[in-house]
Amino acid sequence: MTVLAIESTCDETGAAVARSFGEPMVVEILSNLKASSAEIHAKYGGVIPEIAAREQVAAIIPVISEAIARAKIKVGGIEAIAVTQGPGLIGSLLTGVETAKTLALAWKKPLIAVNHMAAHVFANWIGEKTPELPAVALIVSGGHTDLMYLESLTAWKWIGGTRDDAAGEAFDKAARTLGFSYPGGPMVAKAAEEAKTDLPVEMKLPRPMIYENNLEMSFSGLKTALAQVIEQNGERLSENPGLINALAREFNQAVADVLIKKTMKATEQYRPKSVLLAGGVAANVTLREGLARAVKEAGKEFFCPNLEYCTDNAAMIAACALLRPNYVDPLKLRPNPGLEVR
Ligand code: KG4
Ligand code: ZN
């Protein structure tokens, strides 16, 4: 089947054309495009929902037209339209959902509703080598940090996650505290890579809940601890600016340490065949490489999407639609900003 997929959860407008073939199913991406309003939001230090929604309206038709053109197919070759139903910002979601409904009705194509968080996980099915189930999946994005047990493509169980801030949210807040702009995660990661100075012991950060015998996490205290270190060491930091990068490296490592430890705990407990990493924070090299090493040592298969499929994109929406199609009535579909992972 060939689908046109549309993604408009937050500040990025994505469209992709993808097709599936074979048994087990292989997903091939024919085109994958996105427009972003992140540069506008950077001025405000975070996403302004009204601006994001307005930018979605401006970008959506050009991005869809270009995705179809680059896939070198005609509208007649599209067999279904897939769209993100939620979770996300209501104004942004509305743009994608209403556009998809209109195209489905005008072009007489079936419509598939996609759960954005599930789609992050399905990014691991793009390409020839696909995960064997059951699997444990760690989903880490701007709004979510969840551990899931995937018994099959459809039977998913939530087994753990954060009590407060999501990992991506923690990165974004830490970036602000360190004086970087939005989106913060990639900036903290870059500063961490460039760090050359050793961090004094008294500036080390905690690894919250790491030794607790459960699959729960907490990141809000870590952000507070970072703010305190900065407040208490103002003079030292201005005398030695290299310490800012060293603090970024420490924060980056603290988040990765907790995520890796808890994912491995879930792996011991649930004994899956594969371990999957998904979501925007999966682009973090410390996390990707650290988790890959730990999973390999445990004798399991590790999967992580290519970088372009980690942060929000429409290719993952197409993958989810092809592997787990949820057909809906175009006249009835409504966006759901609070849709849960399943
Ligand atoms: O999945 P995503 O693109 O959007 C949501 O569904 O939320 O995730 C965005 C989050 C942001 O918080 C961003 O700072 C974080 O992913 N992020 C990273 C990196 N790249 C993106 N965090 C850490 N390191 C990165 N390299
Ligand atoms: Zn996302």
Residue 59 tokens, joined = 């970008």
Q: Whose CA is nearest to atom 22 of ligand 1?
A: 185
Q: What is the pLDDT of residue 325?
A: 98
Q: What is the pLDDT of residue 57?
A: 96
Between the CA of 311 and the centroid of ligand 1 the distance, in Å, is: 6
Among 84, 116, 141, 193, say which to mutate for ligand 1: greatest number of ligand atoms within 8 Å of CB. 141
Segments of the chain scoring below 70 in pLDDT: none
Q: Is 335 in the pocket of ligand 1 (CB under 6 A)?
A: no
Residue type, 41: H
Q: Whose CA is nearest to atom 23 of ligand 1?
A: 185
Between the CA of 21 and the centroid of ligand 1 the distance, in Å, is: 31
Q: What is the pLDDT of residue 291?
A: 98
Between the CA of 166 and the centroid of ligand 2 the distance, in Å, is: 12
Q: Is 172 in the pocket of ligand 1 (CB under 6 A)?
A: yes
Between the CA of 280 and the centroid of ligand 2 the distance, in Å, is: 6
Q: What is the pLDDT of residue 342?
A: 82
Q: What is the pLDDT of residue 43?
A: 87
Q: Comparing 2-126+308-328 with 135-304, is the CATH topology the same?
A: yes
Note the ligand closest to the C-alpha atom of 141. 1
Q: Is 87 in the pocket of ligand 1 (CB under 6 A)?
A: no
Task: Point out the ligand 1 atom lying closest to the alpha carbon of residue 190.
Answer: 26
From first CA to last CA, the distance across the chain in angstroms is: 23
Q: Is 183 in the pocket of ligand 1 (CB under 6 A)?
A: yes
Q: Is 49 in the pocket of ligand 1 (CB under 6 A)?
A: no
Distance CA(156)–CA(225), nearest Å, equals 34
Is 267 in contact with 136 (CB distance < 8 Å)?
yes
Please give the model's pTM, rounded to 2 decimal places: 0.97
Q: What is the pLDDT of residue 75?
A: 97
Q: What is the pLDDT of residue 251?
A: 98
Among 281, 288, 317, say which to mutate for ligand 1: greatest number of ligand atoms within 8 Å of CB. 281
| Domain 135-304 listed as CATH 3.30.420.40 | yes
Q: What is the pLDDT of residue 42?
A: 87
Note the ligand closest to the C-alpha atom of 308. 1
Is 48 in contact with 66 (CB distance < 8 Å)?
no
- Rg (the chain; Cα; Å): 20
The burial class, CB within 10 Å (0-12 / 13-18 / 19+), for 47 is: buried
The burial class, CB within 10 Å (0-12 / 13-18 / 19+), for 304 is: buried
Distance CA(166)–CA(161), nearest Å, equals 9
Q: Where are the beta strands (DSSP E) in the chain?
A: 2-7, 12-21, 26-36, 80-86, 111-115, 135-140, 145-150, 156-162, 216-217, 274-278, 301-303, 327-328
Between the CA of 297 and the centroid of ligand 2 the distance, in Å, is: 29
Residue 137 C-alpha from the chain's centroid? 12
Between the CA of 27 and the centroid of ligand 2 the distance, in Å, is: 20
The CATH superfamily holding the domain 2-126+308-328 is ATPase, nucleotide binding domain (3.30.420.40)
Q: What is the pLDDT of residue 85?
A: 98
Instruction: Name the residue ranges covered by the structural domains of the chain.
Output: 2-126+308-328, 135-304
Q: What is the pLDDT of residue 254?
A: 98
Q: Is 311 in the pocket of ligand 1 (CB under 6 A)?
A: yes
Between the CA of 202 and the centroid of ligand 2 the distance, in Å, is: 35
The burial class, CB within 10 Å (0-12 / 13-18 / 19+), for 242 is: middle
